[in-house]
Structure 1
Amino acid sequence: MWYQLRFPIKLTFAILLALLIGFHFNLETPRWAVMTACIVAGGTAFAAGGDPFSGALRHRGMLRIIGTFIGCLAALTIMIATIRAPVVMLLLCCLWAGFCVWLSSLIKVENSYALGLAGYTALIIVVSLDANGSVLLAPQFAVERCSEIIIGIVCAILADMLFSPRSIKQDIDRAIDGLLVDQYKLMQLCVAHGDKEEVDKAWTDLVRRTTALNGMRTHLMMESGHWQRADRRLRALNTLSLTLITQACETFLIQNTRQEYVPPQFHLFFEKPVENVADIHKRMKIMRRVITASGSKNTPVTVSNWVGAASRYLLLLKGIKTNSSISGMEEEVLDGEPVVKMRSAETRHALINGVRTFVATAVGSLFWLWSGWTSGSGAMVMLAVITALAMRMPNPLMMAKDFLYGMMVAIPLGALYYMVLMPATQQSMLLLCLCLGVMAFIGGILIQRRQIGTLGALVGTINILTLDNPMTFNVSAFLDNALGQAIGCFLALLVILLIRDTSKARTGRTLLNRFMYSAVAAMTTNQARRRENHLPALYQQLFMLLNLFPGDINKFRIALTLIIGHQRLRDADIPVNSDLSAFHKQLRHTADRVISAGSDAKRRHYFERLLAELAIYQEKLVHYEAPLSVTEPVQRLASMLKKYQTTLLQI
């Protein structure tokens, strides 16, 4: 019961504390502090689907402070430069908002909030000052807005600290145990060469859970700097988990053509079921002795690699749970290969997001200036907020609908408070707190259930109540503000519907071609390049592919096969000579041209050229007497690229 009520109480406390501080210090517009507390606490909980973990509120709060300061500086710069040209000033603010949304779409989701906020903060400041005819007070307005927002953020963080913040550490401890057990079960399936669909379901689930565990690591670091050692171990554990998936699936693929690949003794070993980590720990001890006794020639390389990765996983697992000092053996594991980060594949998607924001706000600004519409400033604010924040969400249309539904509820709810309840509480701060506290508490219950429209209704109601100091009850101004908000939400939804995001197919093709490039680029004798760890970046893009095309198992199989090819070729003992080194460079150049080609005809031309070069490369490997561990994966890669040529080019 306490778990379910903890967040509503936390949200209510944050909102009421911001309200009391705002009125106590006679802030000009205390509603900004109240709204900030609501957005920071409520938005985090809505995204988490419940009471957020400790540290998440602080992280979101810091991002909001950073974004607000950047937005205020941008607003002041634009106003100083174009104070005599209102149209140019507003259009520059719209361009700034579009630029911030474009840039936020290219960085990590957890950090994009600051850039989105910086974009619409500048526009809100300029629109609000222009609507009130007080452009010369811009510096004062910017300082007041920053101060009120910081007060709201501090209130939200204080509420989170007081009402039992929920640590993610116990969830991580359970997740790493369950992940290893399921990794073992996947290896059992692959060694036994079980049903293909069952194997696909198992490895896709493990990819999702490994990605989720890496996200938990981020939350753990938000919680406290005390977890630095656990963070280092979890980073390495992420790579080890991906390695286990790769080696298990490669074992399955090799057995498609070589059923005798796994010797009988290993089949017998993996037939025994496991229940927990302790069982796996015992099995690994026995398995290491079996591998040592059998020798490397009689042990499949994928099985040997899997056992090694699982042993290192067990070593780090204990340290994560205890957060103890890092031993020398662990240090060797942690100081492994440098992790490579890949650039975003969503360049077109980011461009469409920026265009949506710029077009929506620019058209709204021009119409507002031309018509002199009194509700225009409120509509402009909602246009900027929704188009800036919704674009980075997995489903922007759903977030726009959430705000629109919320505003439909906010109008009657706000009217009840503004016209009936709040005038009756003017003589008592206690009654005012009770009225707003009841609304915040009920809203908190619905927000943590992700009830659509709830967050928009709560934020919209607080905004149209104005909460100025002193309070005045101008019904026409209230209706004007409420109507502007609702129309702004509708226009934002209309923009998202009209400017379609057609980048899905292009992003999917880019991702698959990047997997192809990584496999081709792994054919190198450069030791520095061979030491680079591409697995986390490759699986991150595989996870993106899973989200873009849910249920399309064929695309996932192609991507996984290319990742497996990358890992095998990276470890292959390729003969070292100048002829092969020069040809490796040529292969990488051709594969890169496939990705960067501007038309389907050019893309197909370079892809066919790549296939021809791979055929020549195989002849060179035979000429230089390369071992089977090199020729087999190259042949497998060439056959796979030829087989799925249409999918890789046209998706």
Structure 2
Amino acid sequence: MIQFLRFPVKLTFAVLLAMLLGFYFNLETPRWAVMTAGIVAGGQAFAAGGDPYSGALRYRGLLRIIGTLLGCVAALAIVMTTIRAPMIMLFLSCLWAGFCVWVSSLVKVDNSYAFGLAGYTALIIIISANASGSMELMPRLAVERCSEIFIGIICVILSDIFFSPRSIKKVIDQEVDHLLLAQYQLLQFCVGQKDKEEVDKAWSSLVARSSAFSGMRSQLKMESSHWQNSSRRLKMLNTLSLTMITHATETYLNLQAHPEYLSSAFVELIEQKVASIADLRIKVRELRKLIHEYPKESVPLALSTWVSAASEYLLLSKGIRSNVKVNGTEEAILRREDIVAPRSAETHHAMINGIRTFVATFSGVLFWLYSGWNAGSGCMIMLAVVTALAMRIPNPLMMAKDFLYGMTAAFPVGLLYYAYLMPSTQQSIFLLCLIIGLLAFVAGALIQRRQVGALGGFIGTLNVIVLSNPITFPIESFLDNSLGQMIGCFLSLMVILLIRDKSKAKTGRKILNRFMYAAVSSLTTNPSRRRENHLPALYQQLFLLLNMFPGDLNKYRLALTLIISQQRLRGFSIPPSPELSAFHQRLRGTGDKVIAARSVEKKEFYYTQLIQELEKYEQLLEEYDVSVTVKESVHRLTDILTRYQSTMINI
């Protein structure tokens, strides 16, 4: 029960402190400080489904500061260059909002909030100054908004510090052991040749858990620099986890094709029951010992790689718990490979998001200027906020509906506060804190339960009750603000419905083509290129594919097969040769053309050319002193690309 109440108390304290500081410093509109506290704390809690972990609110606050400063600078630049042409000024502000949403859809999810905020901050400042009738007020509005937002963020951080921040370290320590036990269970399923559905379910669950594990590392980095050593180990631990998934699945596929692939001694040892991490340590030692008893060529490479990764995993996991200084053995493991950062595959999706925001905001500007509607500025602000925040999540339509439900609920609640409670408590700061605190506490309880409309309703209520200095209660102002909020959310919903996002197929095809390119580009004579580890980036793309096409196991199997080929080919040492090196460059160039081709005809042409070049490459390998396993792996890749040609081109 105490855990459940912790976040509502945090939110209440942050909101009340922001309001009191706003009045103490005599800010003209303390509501921006209050709303900032509510948005930063409430948004993180809604996303986490409970009290956010320590550091998350500080990081979110930092992103809001960066986004606000960037938006204020953009607003000043736009106004300074176009103040004599109001229409161009508003057009550029809408274009800036669309550009920022486009960028936010391409960067990491953790950092996208700053860019989305930068877009609508500039628009809010310009719209507010325009609505006031004097653009000369714009610099003052920018300074006031920055000051109020800084106050709100400071209040959130203090609240998080005062009320027992939750550390994610204990959760990570538990997940480190549980994840390795799940890895061993997957290996048992693969060696025991369980049903395809059971194996698919196990590895897809592990992919999701590894992705969540990587997110935990990000949370730990936000928490404190004290965990720097553990964070470094966790980064490699994620790579080792993905390596074990890959080679366990490779073992399964090889056993299906060749039942004699694994000797009975290994099968019997692996299938023995393991109940705890202590048992697993013993089992890994026994597997290492058994591997050394067999000749190297008779031990499957996939299994020996799995055991090696599990041994390194166990070694690093000890350092994660103790957070001690990285020793020499661990340093060698951590520096062995260069982790390659993933590139976004959602370029078309990002373009659609930017267009939606620009069309929504500029259409609102045109209607506002044409009608002279008093609530137009509030409507414009909501259009910018909803389209900027909704676009980055997997289901923007649901978030737009959530805002609409919340703003609709904010009308009766806001009316109760604005028309009755606040006028009755105007002479007592204690009573004002009591009624605002009650609102924040109830909203906090609903937000952490992810109640639909709770976050939007809370922010909408804070906006319409207009905590100004001094507080006045003109009913027409309340009606304008409330009506503008609801109509703005409704128009945002309509824009999302009318401008359809049909990028799903394109993104899926691009992801599969990148798997193909990763496998082809792993053919290299350059040792530094073989040090590049694309596995985390590939699995991040695979996780996106899982979310985009739930239930389509054929795509997952194809993607996983290509990842296995990439890992196998990357591990081989191809003899240095100018001719081979030139051919590798030629293969990468053709792979680039396959990805870049826009029409199906061009894509099919370059894809066929790539397969022909791979066949020629197989013939070229015959002339060099290359091992049989390399030739077989290249032939297997060529066969996979040939069999799945229609899937790769016409997804």
Note whether the superposition's TM-score is higher than 0.5.
yes
CA RMSD of aligned residues (A): 1.0
Q: How far does residue 258 in structure 1 lie from its aligned partner after superposition?
A: 1.5
Alpha-carbon deviations, 1:429-480, whole Å to 9, x = none? 1111111111111111110010110000000000000111111110011101
**Residue aligning to 2:426:** 426
Query: Letter of the aligned partner of 2:342 in structure 1?
Result: M
In 2, Cα distance between equivalents of 1:586 and 1:223? 46
The equivalent of 1:565 in structure 2 is 565
Aligned to 1:530: 530
What does residue 113 of structure 2 align with?
Answer: 113
Partners of 1:183 and 1:358 lie apart in 2 by 46
Alignment of 1:518-597 (within 5 A): 518-597=518-597
C-alpha deviation, 1:22, in angstroms:
1.1
**Shift of the alpha carbon at 1:136?**
0.3
Write the letter of the residue equivalent to 2:75: A
**1:28 corresponds to:** 28
Counterparts of 2:8 and 2:31 in 1: how far apart (Å)? 19
Match of 2:479 in 1: 479
Residue 295 (structure 1) shift: 2.7
Q: Deviations over 1:398-438 (max 9, x none)?
A: 11001000011001110011001111101111111111111
1:628 matched to 2:628? The reply is yes
Q: Distance in 1 between matches of 2:31 and 2:582?
A: 66
- Answer with 250-259 or 474-483: which moved more: 250-259
CA distance in 2, matches of 1:573, 1:550: 37
Aligned to 2:296: 296
Matched residue SS, 2:339: coil
Aligned to 1:54: 54
Match for residue 397 of structure 2?
A: 397
* Alignment check: 8 A CA contact 1:407 1:485 kept: yes
- Provide TM-score, normalisation by structure 1: 0.99
Amino acid at match of 2:141: F
Residue 136 of structure 2 corresponds to residue 136 of structure 1? yes
Residue 386 in structure 1 maps to residue 405 in structure 2: no
- After TM superposition, the structure 1 = structure 2 runs for residues 39-50 of structure 1, keeping only pairs within 5 Å, are 39-50=39-50
Give, in whole Å, the separation in 2 of the partners of 1:615 and 1:328: 44
Partner of 1:337: 337
**In structure 2, what is the Cα distance between the partners aligned to 1:483 and 1:375?**
7
Gaps of 5+ in 1: none
Match of 1:364 in 2: 364
Which stretch shows the higher mean deviation, 310-319 or 255-264?
A: 255-264
Report what 1:355 is aligned to.
Answer: 355
Name the counterpart of 1:504.
504
Measure the CA separation in 1 of the matches of 2:419 and 2:625: 88
Paired residues, what number?
Answer: 651
Give the match's secondary structure for 2:198. helix
> Are the counterparts in 2 of residues 573 and 629 from structure 1 also a CA contact under 8 Å?
no
AA aligned opposite 1:384: A
Describe how 1:164-203 pairs up with structure 2 within 5 A: 164-203=164-203
* C-alpha distance 133-486 of structure 1, shift in aligned 2 (>3 A): same
Give the letter for the 2:525 counterpart.
T
User: Please, which runs of 5 or more residues in structure 2 have no aligned partner?
Assistant: none
Q: Match for residue 441 of structure 1?
A: 441
Separation (CA, whole Å) in 2 of partners of 1:581 and 1:92: 49
Q: Counterparts of 2:515 and 2:500 in 1: how far apart (Å)?
A: 27
State the identity as a percent.
Answer: 61
Residue type at the aligned position of 1:335: R
- Residue 298 (structure 1) shift: 2.2
> For each residue in 1:99-147, what CA deviation from the matched residue of structure 2 results, as whole angstroms up to 9, or x when unmatched?
1111111100010100100000000001011111131021111111100
Q: Report SS of the residue matched to 2:532.
A: coil
Q: Please list every run of at least 4 consecutive aligned residues from structure 1 whose deviation after the TM superposition is greater than 6 angstroms.
A: none
- Equivalent residues of 1:90, 1:365 under 8 A apart: yes
Q: Could you tell me which residue of structure 2 aligns to residue 83 of structure 1? A: 83
Bigger drift between 439-448 and 522-531 goes to: 522-531
Name the residue aligned to 2:454.
454
Question: Matches of 1:110 and 1:573 in 2, distance apart?
Answer: 38
Aligned to 1:410: 410
Measured against aligned partners, the alpha-carbon deviations of 1:2-44 in whole angstroms (never above 9, x if no partner) come to 0001001111111111111111221100000000000000001
Matched, 1:145 2:129: no
The one-letter code sitting in structure 1 at the alignment partner of 2:166 is R
CA distance in 2, matches of 1:433, 1:404: 27
SS in 2 for 1:260: helix
Q: CA offsets, 1:557-589, max 9 Å, x none?
A: 110000000010111243433332222222111
Distance 2:292 2:591 in 1: 40
Could you give the per-residue CA deviations for residues 44-100 of structure 1, whole angstroms, max 9, x where no partner exists? 100111110000000000100110011011111111111111111111100111111
Q: Residues of 1 paired with 2:70 and 2:285: CA distance? A: 56
Structure 2 CA distance for aligned equivalents of residues 182 and 621 of structure 1: 39
1:325 aligns to 2:325 (yes or no): yes
CA contact (8 A) 1:87 1:366 kept: no
Distance 2:249 2:174 in 1: 24
How many Å separate the matches in 1 of 2:274 and 2:217? 27
Structure 2 equivalent of residue 237 of structure 1: 237
Give, in whole Å, the separation in 1 of the partners of 2:516 and 2:506: 15
Distance 1:302 1:148 in 2: 58
- 1:221–1:231: 8 Å Cα contact kept in structure 2? yes
How far the C-alpha of 1:276 sits from its partner, in A, is 1.5
Instruction: Quote the offset at 1:608 in angstroms.
Output: 1.1
Q: For the residues of structure 1 that align with 2:347 and 2:581, how far apart are their CA atoms?
A: 32
- In structure 2, the residue matched to 1:285 is 285
The alpha-carbon deviation at position 625 of structure 1 amounts to 5.3
Equivalent pair of 1:28/1:469 in contact (CA under 8 Å): yes
